[in-house]
């Protein structure tokens, strides 16, 4: 089957074509308008989605070298995400499916981040653990089948990506700061500053204490030396990144031991982080795990992961009607 995938949950407008499980195109229109505001402005995001959605879909069809009449079903992100942003993708998907007389497939964005592992070889075998780390979520997911997933650990407050984005804001870097922290961290010494590791029971996470510790650390040091940030930016970024990575990997290790699972994957925007990717590889070698890390273009928000999820649902004829509506919160 030929599946058109649509993603519009946050600030990326994306369209992808998947043919028999192979991704032939993945067009991502990023929204730069939010940089000036230090975070995503929901009303602006949905307006830009409206401008980008038709060109993104047209480009995805062109890049895949297919005809729009070849499309057998439309898969779209139903949630979770910003309601106004989701509404643009959902409305487009419904209109397209209605006009072509083809089925609609709803996709959970967080499940799709996990299913990004079914785009390229080698694909993980079930069961596997997936650490899904993004701007809005931090989850350890026990993946029993394509759509049988259980969250066994998650953040009790901020997400890992949010902690990185807030840190970069404190450092005066533009939004989104995660990629800039990554870039600076490569030039710094991660052992320069010690930030606290929260003591949270079980497999859950907390990042708000770390964020506050960083805020006070910067405030006190800038009070003593107004050039503190500029003089030490690389070491600060490297130290912060190291702490975030150790918090994530320590819990992942605990989960893998507790569940006796050796297939371990990373997903979500923060899985683009160099330190986290290297850290998982190294830990995997120590532990004898099979580790799975997606290509960069499938880490941050993209429609290829929606299209591949749609492909597996198409095989089960798991369709939804025209009365479907987006969900800002959407459990598995």
Binding site residues, Fe ion, CB under 5 A: 134, 301
Q: Is the peptide bond before 142 cis (omega within 30 degrees of 0)?
A: no
* Cα 165 to chain centroid, rounded: 14
Q: Concatenate the DSSP letters of all residues of 48-59 into one string.
A: HHHHHHHHHHHH
Between 161 and 188, whose beta carbon lies closer to Fe ion?
A: 161
Q: Is the peptide bond before 234 cis (omega within 30 degrees of 0)?
A: no
Residues 268-297 that bind Mg ion (CB under 5 A): none
Tell me which stretch binds ligand ATP (CB under 6 A): 14-22, 177-185, 247-255, 284-292. Answer: 177-185
Instruction: Tell me the number of residues near ligand ATP by CB under 6 A.
Output: 24
Between 4 and 305, whose beta carbon lies closer to ligand ATP?
A: 305
Residue 102, classed as helix, strand or coil, is coil
d(CA 58, CA 29): 12
Helix count (H) and strand count (E) of the chain? Answer: 9, 10
The answer on whether 136 is annotated among ligand-binding residues is: yes
The answer on whether 134 is annotated among ligand-binding residues is: yes
Could you tell me the smallest distance in angstroms from the CB atom of residue 251 to Mg ion?
Answer: 24
Name which position in 4, 7, 11, 170 contacts Mg ion (CB under 5 A). Answer: 11
Q: Nearest residue by C-beta to ligand ATP?
A: 269
Could you tell me the smallest distance in angstroms from the CB atom of residue 103 to ligand ATP?
Answer: 25
Binding mask 283-302 for ligand ATP (x = CB under 6 A): -----------------xx-
Between 42 and 190, whose beta carbon lies closer to Mg ion?
A: 42
Binding mask 62-91 for ligand ATP (x = CB under 6 A): -------------------x----------
- Between the two ends of the chain, the Cα-to-Cα distance in Å is 25
The answer on whether 323 is annotated among ligand-binding residues is: no
Residue with tokens 């990575």: 245
d(CA 109, CA 299): 12
CA dihedral sign of residues 278, 128, 165, 39: positive
270 binds, among ligand ATP, Fe ion, Mg ion, none (CB under 5 to 8 A by kind): ligand ATP
The answer on whether 192 is annotated among ligand-binding residues is: no
Between 105 and 305, whose beta carbon lies closer to Fe ion?
A: 305
Between 284 and 310, whose beta carbon lies closer to Fe ion?
A: 310
Q: Answer for the pair 268, 141: CB distance below 8 angstroms, yes or no.
A: no
Residues 133-172 that bind ligand ATP (CB under 6 A): 134-137, 161, 164-165
The answer on whether 191 is annotated among ligand-binding residues is: no
User: Is residue 272 part of the contact set for ligand ATP (CB under 6 A)?
Assistant: yes
d(CA 189, CA 59): 42
User: Is residue 10 part of the contact set for ligand ATP (CB under 6 A)?
Assistant: yes
Helices (H), the chain: 42-64, 83-100, 109-115, 160-170, 178-185, 208-224, 228-259, 274-287, 304-315
Residue whose C-alpha is closest to residue 268's, from 153, 131, 141: 131
Between 71 and 272, whose beta carbon lies closer to ligand ATP?
A: 272
What are the residues facing 143 on neighbouring strands?
Answer: 128, 149
The answer on whether 288 is annotated among ligand-binding residues is: no
User: Is residue 7 part of the contact set for Mg ion (CB under 5 A)?
Assistant: no
Residue with tokens 């990004």: 116
Applying CB under 6 A, the residues found at the interface with ligand ATP are 9-10, 81, 109, 134-137, 161, 164-165, 176-179, 181-182, 268-270, 272-273, 300-301
Q: Which residues sit in the known binding site for Fe cation?
A: 109, 113, 301
């Amino acid at each position: 089957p030929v599946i058109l995938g649509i993603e519009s949950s946050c600030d990326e407008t994306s369209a992808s074509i998947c043919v028999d499980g192979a991704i032939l195109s993945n067009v991502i229109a990023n929204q730069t308008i939010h940089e000036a505001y230090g975070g995503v402005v929901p009303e602006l995001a949905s307006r830009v989605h409206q401008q980008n959605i038709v060109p993104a879909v047209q480009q995805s069809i062109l890049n895949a070298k297919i005809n729009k009449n070849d499309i057998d079903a439309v898969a779209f992100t139903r949630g979770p995400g910003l309601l106004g942003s989701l509404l643009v993708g959902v409305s487009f998907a419904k209109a397209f499916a209605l006009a072509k007389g083809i089925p609609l497939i709803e996709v959970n964005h967080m499940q799709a981040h996990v299913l990004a592992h079914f785009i390229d070889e080698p694909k993980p075998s079930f069961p596997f653990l997936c650490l899904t780390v993004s701007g809005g979520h931090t989850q350890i997911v026990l993946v029993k089948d394509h759509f049988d997933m259980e969250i066994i650990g998650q953040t009790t407050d901020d997400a890992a990506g949010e902690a990185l984005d807030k840190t970069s804001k404190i450092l005066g870097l533009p939004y989104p700061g995660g990629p800039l922290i990554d870039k600076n961290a490569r030039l710094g010494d991660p052992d320069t500053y010690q930030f606290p590791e929260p003591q949270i029971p079980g497999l859950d996470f907390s990042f708000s204490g770390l964020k506050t510790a960083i805020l006070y650390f910067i405030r006190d040091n800038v009070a003593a030396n107004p050039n503190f940030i500029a003089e030490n930016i690389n070491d600060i970024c490297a130290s912060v990144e190291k702490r975030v990575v150790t918090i994530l990997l320590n819990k992942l290790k605990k989960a893998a031991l507790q569940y006796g699972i050796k297939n371990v994957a990373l997903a979500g925007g923060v899985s683009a982080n160099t330190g986290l990717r290297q850290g998982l590889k190294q830990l995997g070698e120590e532990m004898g795990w099979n580790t799975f890390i997606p290509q960069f273009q499938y880490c941050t928000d993209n429609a290829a992961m929606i299209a591949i999820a749609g492909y597996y649902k198409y095989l089960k004829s798991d369709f939804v009607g025209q009365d479907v509506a987006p969900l800002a919160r959407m459990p598995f």
